[in-house]
Structure 1
């Protein structure tokens, strides 16, 4: 149990160590979209638990195990994906598809083994969920930029 809590803390903290490499400007630019995806993922996490799409393990109260994953890798990966590929939609889709395929077909067994997440959806359904998150992330950033540029011309 003690080791699983250390793992949860590491999962949440280690991705944040890459923020200096991201750059201040990129962080400020893409932070709202990543924050939106965190909130969206948290809401879907609660709904998914109620509908038994997945099982969440106890983390370190008041956070469950998935909160650590959403605050760490999900949040930071959203920032990096937008930095690497925003404005190049096909590249964005390819990068995210590869990332999610590796996560779902290789990483989920470790998520279950280390008591972070137990997905009860099929792998294809779970991939569909992550792909919809990808599209929503890009759409949020696209709309945010369109609104920002339209406000400049008013």
Structure 2
């Protein structure tokens, strides 16, 4: 059983540690992919609320008014979205395979056990396979958002003569 204070430290580490890798992304990649990462985290928060109401999963108490999933969503999930886009964007098959492998590893090779142990979240009515399907669909949405963003910028720059 985690003590109240040690859980707070775990949540803060979950939030902060991934952000320590962001300078390695480079400012150009960070600026390029940040809107898509923020979009998918916001969309994920909406799914989190919907899924919690349907009892697909449960989120544990976090710090103050933030549930534990906020720390996970705006820490590792957001930063991983940035990294995966940087490393694979422009090659949809590579992106899809890489993203799916990351989710399979998280779901089937210990990640779900870790987040449950540290009382971040746990699945209730949702199977691991169903959770994987949701994650794969979110991944496609992330890529699609980035694609549409860049398509819009390309059209805009063509019209402005740049």
Q: Name the TM-score class by shorter chain.
A: over 0.9
* Shift in Å, 1:2: 1.0
Map of 1:84-99 to 2, 5 A cutoff? 84-99=87-102
One of 62, 65, 82 as aligned partner of 1:62: 65
Asked if residue 124 in structure 1 is aligned to residue 123 in structure 2, the reply is no
Secondary structure in 2 aligned to 1:73? helix
Q: For structure 1, which runs of at least 5 residues remain unmatched after alignment? A: none
TM-score by length of 2: 0.93
Q: In 2, distance between residues paired with 1:62 and 1:17?
A: 25
* Shift in Å, 1:102: 0.8
Map of 1:1-154 to 2, 5 A cutoff? 1-105=4-108, 106-120=110-124, 121-154=126-159
Q: Which has the larger radius of gyration?
A: 2
Kindly tell me the number of residue pairs found equivalent between the two proteins: 154
Query: Deviation above 2 Å: which 4+ runs of structure 1?
Result: none
TM-score by length of 1: 0.98
